[in-house]
Structure 1
Amino acid sequence: MYTVKYPIDLVIDAGNGTTCVVAEYLKPFIFPSVILQLEDSPLRGGQGFTIHVERNNTQTGKWQDRKSFAVGDTANILPGLKIRNTSKERIGSEYQLMLILAATARALEELIDSEADEFKVKINWLLNIPPIYYGMNQRMKDLSGSYRVQYGPRVYLIDAEVTQVFPEGAGAGATYMLDEGGAFVNEEFAQGRTGVIDVGYRTIDTVIFDGPELLAPSAKSLTNSISQVYQLMQRWAMEEFEEDWTEEQCETALRNGYATLRHTKKRVPLDEWIEDLGERLADLIERDVFQKQWSDLGDVDRVILAGGGAYMVAPSLKDRYPDVIVLREEFPHTATVPYELMNATGHLRLLLAEQTAQ
């Protein structure tokens, strides 16, 4: 067994649409927040992103409750009942735990350079929670514990502690304020109020910061209208290509900017769908956030965007409010950060800032 000498800090954003993972010395990665429970069987090559998980019983000291899951794209491909929980009940649930453990195992595979097949490692989890549910953050902290996770030929004995639970949006703000090393570089964001819009594929989360301070009562969450677009896309795919697309396939195609047809392997660009969806979401944000929640933008001095759907609405919102919307391309330390990774990246920068200050 190989024991990792020092704790590893992992920032994991297990969101409705995707799970995002960021850490020092790790290339960030993203996978769909979908799992599929499988029959327990030895892991062999060709099974893709599949994990076996056991929990340590603190009273007996024994490993128990062994379960197997396909995760992300592997879960989407395999037949069976996919699990994607977008409700309030996902907070601190087994579903969310499996996403976090899968993200951890995949990160460790990249971070640990060793020929050993069993590893003992201490992990500090830095997790996200929608601001409207921040009062439930203790459920996230309760995920701390000892787990044995098998991923590919490796087995990881993970002693995990949830050391931070951030409200979504806090990370996006930090990404704009701090550089890659955690140094404060953007004085503009230290003054006035910054509105954060986290445009997900299922919900739109909003929150306001007064300088660096989160205003908890401002946290809101909207159900967006993307599902209606998925239905239109599904009808179009059937009529044009005789293909039956699931919502997950529609979501993946929109994220990629194209769909790959199953029978011909031809790529079909989705520029018109993305533009249409961006306008729909921009209309929703303008009406329900800017006008109703933020008093016709009187409550904020600037607005930044985050989340997987942000790239679709950014052009339209910037055209409508050029002096209010601040895009990532406007600063060198944010220009290369994908919108989906804004929160996780900012949380890592906050951690680095705290470590530098100590």
Structure 2
Amino acid sequence: MRTTLTAAGVAATALIALAGCSADSDADATDESSAGATTEATADAGAAAGADWPEEITLALIPNENVTDLVTTVAPLTDYLSEQLGITVEGVVTQDYQAAVEAIGSGQAQIAIADAGSLAAAEDMYGAHAVLQDVRFGASQYASMFFTNNPDKYCDDEPVMATYGATGQEFLYCNGTAEGEDNSGVGPVAVDALSKIEPGTTVAFGNTTSPAGYQLPVLALEEQGVNIDDLQQVPVTGNDTLLMAVYNGDAEVGFAYWDARSSIDAAEVADLGEKVVVFGLSEMYPNGGVVLSDELPEDLRTEITTLMDGFSEVDPETLQEIFDQTDWVPADAAAIDLAREVNSRFSGQ
């Protein structure tokens, strides 16, 4: 899951580090038969727009573990947009989400693929337009899950084994968070169970910019009257290390996106789903997505949105490789407002 940008930090600290992605890679990765059906109509639309459309625009995204892989992966998308729009779309890799938003604000990029907090920040700071949200495992939103190695304390019922549909793995859940095949990960569920966390309890938090690992849990804890300064905080980076901190007993409670237990190799930690029990789910938080600069003509923004929205039918393999997602759907303004609320609460951290 992506980490969230805090709005105040963007303007003050974001550093642009753009590295060009080649737009000349082999376009065979794109499904030519699907793309061909729309090529002529889109090209006509681009021609009709005339001088109102720029000759070149830039799409910014952040690096994955291997920047070279991302450069290779995104080329089919930028090639597809270039062909369909009739203008050059160049891909660039930015240092982080803050830099992607700053690239939109400074005119160095006109399209950014970023997390939800960045979508909200780009709208608020630069008048940009959040147009699409990512879809993963059939959903455009996700919850933070609360998990523990002490179910006797945090579970009001006997933990039950339920199937995580995305992988078919079985894990333990309690307090009505899941049952059998009914395991959607939709919150909020059993948030009041957080009130059982006592001062001095060891709690594993993720990075302060992580919605699932820190921000959503902190908001939920505060709603339950728990002062996080009274807790023995175990700061870690990464959902796998959050889980292992609780599994190994370094923390009694931890937080991560639902259901991050699937990210741990079952061959290495076979009993993770039994020792680490989910006892609650937070409010839903929006996935990231696509934001467009207000500098782009409105008809061009509409065309880009339509093309990217339909990219899952043209080249689902590339979309999966970019950010491990299956689709883009129209952005939900109310969901982006929640990201905006989180930005406001955690500005300056």
The answer, yes or no, to whether TM exceeds 0.5 is: no
Higher helix share: 2
Higher strand share: 1
- Relative contact order: is structure 1 or structure 2 higher (C-alpha 8 Å, sep ≥ 6)? 2
Q: TM-score, length-normalised on structure 2?
A: 0.30
Q: TM-score, length-normalised on structure 1?
A: 0.30
